[in-house]
Amino acid sequence: MKKNVKICPIDYSIDLLSKKWTLPIIYALVKKSPKRFKELEREITGISPNILSTRLKELEFNHLIEREVFPTIPPTVEYGLTEHANGLKSVFNELENFGLYHQKIKQ
């Protein structure tokens, strides 16, 4: 995104969250946070370790998740939502409710 260009907040949000695998990662952390890398990898069906690593770095760069490294051997790393991203919980809850409801009415 270009700096100092005003854009619609909805467009900005969609741009921030629209990369493939971003929403499943955030949703996994909304359900339970913090989680370790392998937990996320197991929970998000079909994601490769390289893509997961890349998306986690992007989400951390955008201040949506935080990464905590523990001084163990090998190092233990946990990922959790930032305080700012906790505001997405209600959005994800509504999307989940909508999806469940819509699946029922389509049957």
pLDDT at position 59: 96
Segment 89-104, tens digit of pLDDT: 889 889 888 988 888 8
Alpha-carbon dihedral 35, 92, 55, 43, rounded to 10 degrees: 50
Residue 5: is its pLDDT beyond 80? no
Cα torsion 93, 95, 98, 104: sign: negative
Percentage helix, strand, coil for the chain under 3-state DSSP, each rounded to 5: 55, 15, 30
Q: Could you identify the residue written with the tokens 């392998």?
A: 38
Q: Alpha-carbon distance 31 to 29, whole Å?
A: 5
pLDDT at position 106: 76
Say which CATH topology domain 9-106 has: Arc Repressor Mutant, subunit A (1.10.10)
Residue 70: is its pLDDT beyond 70? yes
Cβ 88 vs Cβ 95: under 8 Å:
no
Q: Alpha-carbon distance 69 to 60, whole Å?
A: 13
Confidence of residue 105 (pLDDT cuts 50, 70, 90): confident
